[in-house]
Structure 1
Amino acid sequence: MKRLKNLHKSDLKIPFIYLLISACWVMFSSYLLPYFTGDLRNLASYEMLKGWIFICVTSTILFLLIRRERLKDEQSNKRISEAEFKFRTLVEESLLGIYILREGRFAYVNSTLLALSGYHSKELLCMHFSDLILPLHEGEEVGLYNNRAELQLQKKDGTLLDVVVLSHKLSVIHNDAPAIMGSILDNTEKRKYQRKLERLAFYDPLTNLANRRMLSNSMNEAMNKARTTNEKLALLFIDLDHFKGINDSIGHDMGDKVLKELADRIVGCIPKSGLVSRYGGDEFTVMLPGLQSAKEAERIAKDLISLFNEPLHIENQKFYITLSIGISIFPDHGKELETLEKNADIAMYFAKEKGRNNSQLFTKSMKVFMVERLHLQHELRKATEDMDNHFFLVYQPKIDVFLNKVIGVEALLRWNHPVSGLISPSRFIPVAEEMGTIGAISNWVINKACRQLKYWNEQGISLTICINISPLLFQQADFVNNILEPISEAGVKPSHIQLEITESVLTNYLDEAIDKLKLLKRNGLTIAIDDFGTGYSSLSVLRKMPIDRLKIDQSFIRDLQKEQDIVALIISMAHKLSMHVTAEGVETVEQCRLLRDLNCREMQGYLFSKPITAVEMEEYLKRRPIAASIQERL
C-alpha cells in the first residue's frame, strides 16, 4: 500500500488509458466490427481478426503516448540541465569561496576559493578543513558547523587572510553522501581598515605610543587590580623642558623627529609591565603597576632623568633635552584617575619650579605651588570685568586651494595683559574654564566676531567666520540662546557662522551636546570638529552628531609624508559621511600639494597667513591668497 501511495499520477496514466481502450473494445467490438465487415461471426477467423485489430490499434496508441511522455521527459531534463548549468556558473563565478565538506575534508571547491587559497583543485580536495581555516587566537578550535565565524585562511604560501566563514548546520547530499556546504568571504581589507581606525583611537600617530584613551582604560584596569592585591600604582607626568624653544628654532619636522626619539628612549627605560603614553604636545605619562612602595617609582624617574642627560643624536645634530617629572601614587594621592593626573601634574610643575631636570613626588604641601595659578585667576577675573580693554580677536584665513580663494576666517582670542604682555590662550583658557568665566569670555568672542562679520558684509565682503566653543559650555542651560542671540542682534546670516568643537565633546559631553548642536544646525549654523585625530571619537558617534566638517589636527600635517595613509583615511571617511575637510597647520608647499592630491581642498596655516587683525585681513582679502610663485610649485 505504501508503494501505491507514492506513485505519481503520471505513472498511472498509460496503464489507465490501456485499460479504458481494452474495456471499450471488449464491450463494443462485437457491434462495431460487423458494421464495416459484414456478418462474419460464423467465420473461424473472426476472433483472430478482432485480436489483430486490437493489437494494432492499441500498439499505435501506446507508441504515441510513450513517445509523448519521452518528449516531455527530454524537455524536463533539458530544463533541469540548463538550471544546473546556471547554478554551477553562479557558484563558480561567485565572489564568495564556496565549498562542500565530507567527513571534514573538501569534496568540492569553486574557482574563487582556489584563487583565494593559492592551491590547485587536486591539492585542496585532499585537505582537511582545519588545514586551511585557522582560528584567530592560538588554542581555539575551528568548528565546522559555525553559522558565522571570523577566522583566518592560510594560503599555500603561508600568508594569512582574515575571512568570514558561513556554513550550514544542516547537512546536504553530495554524490549520494551527507556533506556540509559553506562559503568564505575575504575580510582582509575590512579588517585592515578597522585596525587602522582602532589604532587611530588608541595610539598617538606620531610616536606610536598609547594615547589618553588607552591610558585611561589601562589605569582603570590597573587600579581595580591594585585594590584586590593591595599593591601600589604610580603615575608619572613627564614634561620636556624648554621643548617649545627647540621646536621653534629647528622647525616642526625636526621637532617631531626629536619627539619620536625621546618617546623611544622613555619606553626603553620603563619595565615591560608599564605603559608609556603621549598625553599631548611635549607631555608624556608613564603608568607603573604592581609597586610595593613609592620609592620604586622615584627610582625609575631618576633613571629617566639620568638617561636624558645624554644628548640625542639626530641627523648629525646633538640635542640636550631634560625632563621634569611629577609622580602620584595610587591610592596614597588619589583613588580616581582624574585626581592622580591632577596631582602628578602639580608635582611636575613643582619640579619645574625647582629648576627642571628633576622629579618630584606629590605632597599636600605642593598645593602652595598653585599660588601662581591663583594669581592668574585674579588677573583674569579683573580682565573679564573690562574685556574690551584686555582682549582682542585675530583672524586666520581658510583657503580653498582649488579656487585660490579665501572662503572663511577663524576668530582667535588674544589677551594683552597691561604688565605681562600677551598671554597665550593655552595658558588662560584652562584657568577660565576652571574659574567658570569661560561663558562670559565666549559670549564676548561671539558678539565681537558677529559684529565684525556684519561690518565686513556691509563692505561687500562675504565669507564665513569660525568660532571655537569650549566643551564646558554645553553644560549650560542657556547655551543655544547665548549663541543665537548675538547672531540675531548683529543681523548676520547663521549660515555664515561655523562653531568649532573639540573631540572631547563627543565623549565627555555627548548627551548634553547632541540635542543642542542639532538645534543650532536647524537654525542654519554649521558645526566642525577641531583638531580631529587627537581624541578618540568613534564612527558611530560621528554619525549621530550633526557634523558638517572635520579639521585635521596639525600634528598629522607636520609629518604628512609618514602620516599620509592616516590623513587619506580621515579624508575618505569624512567624504563618505558627507562632511567637508579642512587641514590645519599647513606650512609648506609640499604639504599643500600632498593634501590637494588627497582631495583636501580647504586648508589653513602659515603657508597662507598667520593670524592677523581685522584691518590686516581686509588688506589680505584684496589679493589672491596663493601667490603665483607658489602655484607654479603645486
Structure 2
Amino acid sequence: MEPTSLRNTAPPGRRLAFFGYLGLVILAAIAVVVPAAIEQGTPLLSLPGTYWLMFALACAADARPFNATGPRQSVAVFPSVCFAFAALLIWGLPAAVLVQASATLVFAWRMRHSFWRGLFNVGQYTLALSAAYGILSLAPVIPLRDGTVTRHDVVLLLVACSVWFAVSHGLVATAVWLRFGGSWRQTLTTTVGSEGLAAFALLLLGPFLVAAAQTSGWLIPLIVVPLYAVYRTARLSQEHERLSLLDPLTGLANRKALFTGVEEAIAALREIPAHAQDRRLALIVLDLDRFKQVNDALGHAVGDRLLIEVGRRLAGCVPADAVVARLGGDEFAVLAPRIADVEAAQALATTISVALNDPVRLDGMPLDVASSIGIALSPDHGDDFTTLLRHADVAMYDAKTRGDTVAVYVPESDHNSPARLGLLGDLRRSLETPGFGEVALYYQPQVDMSSGEVVGVEALLRWRHPVRGLVSPEELIKVAEHSGVMRLLTYRVIDEVLAQLARWAEGGMQLRAAINVSVRDLHTTDLVDYLAERLAEYGVAADQIQLEITEGALMADPRRVLATLQRLDRLGVALSLDDFGTGYSSLQHLRRLPLSEVKIDRSFVLGMSTDEDDASIVRSIIELAGALGLRVVAEGVEDERTWRWLVAHGCHVAQGWFYARPMPADELPRWLAKYRPPMLLRAVPNQPEAAS
C-alpha cells in the first residue's frame, strides 16, 4: 500500500529525516534481497512459464490499481500483492521481489511518480516480503510447496500475512509522518481498517494461485475475475466513503468529515511539545442571518442556490489547509488547523465576513448575505470536537445577541458550562426540595419623591447555596433564564410575593410589589393564567402587582411578548420597563406597549455625579417619560445630592440605599415604623449642574 493523495504540510525540519529514512529503507531492502538471491542462485531464465504468466498479470494489474479510502487519505492497493505472495510460496524471496518490484515500478512510471517514491515502494514491499518469508521458513517445508497443507500451515500462512501487513503499513505510516507531520499514532491507525482488509484479501488469494499453478497454468488467468470483483467493490466503497464525507447540496465537507479533521488536527497539536507550541487550532462557526426569510419569501430552491454560493465563497477565502464544512441548514464551519493566536483567528473570521458582504445575485435579484460568526480555539477552549463545536456555537450566538459580526468564546457567555449546569441542578433542587439551599426574597422600598411616602417595594431574589454560600442575583438569573427552571423560579416568586402582600394587608400595610420576569416567561400566556389564578387565591388586587420587563425581552420576539403584555394589562397588572436606556428600545415600543412606568438603570443614576453625559441621559429619560404620561423610577439612589437632583428634575419614584437596603419581609414593618421622609430645602435650583 502507498498513499496516493496527501497535502504537503510537512514542517521544513522533517525533510532531512524523511529522505534519510527513505534511503535507509532502500538500503535495508538491498541488504536483504541480494544475499538471498546469491544463496538461492536460481537463474531467472530457468523459471517456468507459469512464473512469467504471473509476472505479466501482476504488471498488467498494477497499471490500474484500486483504492481503499480511509478518513485521512486514499490508499492505493496493488493486485500484484497476490501474485508476489504466490511466487514467494513457490519460488522463494528473489522471485517474489522481482514480481513485486517490476509491477510497482510500472505503476510509478505510469503515474509519473518521483524516482525516490518508486524506490521506496520497492523497498517497502521487499522488506514486507522478507519478513513474511522469514515466518514461512520456520516450517520444515514452505507451506503448499510440496502440494500438501496442514492445519499448522494455515496458521503459519495467517501469521505471515499479518507480519507482511504490519511491516508494509508501518513503513508507509512512518514515511507519511516524517513527510507531513502530525501524530505518528494517528497516521498509523487512520487507514489500518480499510487498508488491512484489502491487503489480507489479496494476500490470501496467493495460496489459491499456488494451487492453481500446481494443477494447471491455464487456471491462473481466472484470478482476474475475483480481482476485478475486489476492484469494483473497493471502488464502490471508495465512492460511498467519499460521498459520506460530503454535503450533498454544496459539495463541502459535512459534519462527519469535520469531526475527523478536528480530531486529527488536535492529535497533531498534542504531538508538539508544550514549550514549543506556537500555533492553535481554530474552529469557526457561522450561520446566515435572515436566511429563513429568503426561504419563506422566495422558496427553498432559491435558498439552496444561496447556500451553494455561500459555500463557494467560503471555500475561496480560507487558507489552503483549512476545511470548509456545512453543518446543516444555513450553518457552516471552517477548521483552520494552523492559527498563530486569537488575533489571527479573528482576522480570518473578518475575511470570511467580508467575503460574504457582497450581495448574491440570483435571477437578477440581489440578496444580502450577513452572518454571525463564533470562534473557539484549541487547546484554549477545548481539546475535542464536541467541546469546540459547542463553544464556537456559544460564541456565535453571543455575537448574534450583541449585534456583532464576530465573537470569540468566553466562559461568561456559556450558559451550559459544567459549573453552571451543576449550579442549575442545585437551583432546581432548592426550588423543589425544602431545606436544600435557601431561595428567599428581600424587599427594597420605593419612595414617592414629592411626598416621601413609601408606595411600593421591589422583590429581589437571594439564594444561599449550601456549599458556595450567597450566589449573586446576576449569576442566579444567568443560570436559570435559558432553562425550564426559570418558570419554576418565577412561579415561586409570584407565590411568595402574593402570600406576603396578603400577610401585610392583614397587618394594615397596603403596598404595591414589583416582580422581575424574564423573556422566557413572556413567550407564552401561561404566566398570565398562573398570575390570575394566584391573585384570586390570595385575595390580592391586580393593581398591587407590577411586573418589570427588560428591553432585551422586548427585542427577543416583540410580537409574542406584546400579546402577553396586553393580556397582563387587561388583567389590571401594571407593567414597568426595567433598565431603561441600556438596550435598544425605540419610541415606538414606548408608544405601543401598555406600560405604566420606566425605570432608569442604576448605572446612569450612579454616574450622574461625575459624568455630565449620564446626567443628560437621566434628564432626557425623565422628560420623555413625562411627555408620554409614564411614571419614572430611579434605581441606585445612594446619596442626598443625587436625591435632590432627581427631585428637582421631576423624577417620580426612587429606590436605593439612600432610603434603605433590601431587607427580609419581616424587617420591613419595623423599618416602616422608624422611617421618616427626607426633608427638602425650600429653595431648589431650577437648573442645577450634574447632580450638584
User: More helix by proportion, 1 or 2?
Assistant: 2
TM-score by length of 2: 0.42
User: More strand by proportion, 1 or 2?
Assistant: 1
TM-score by length of 1: 0.45
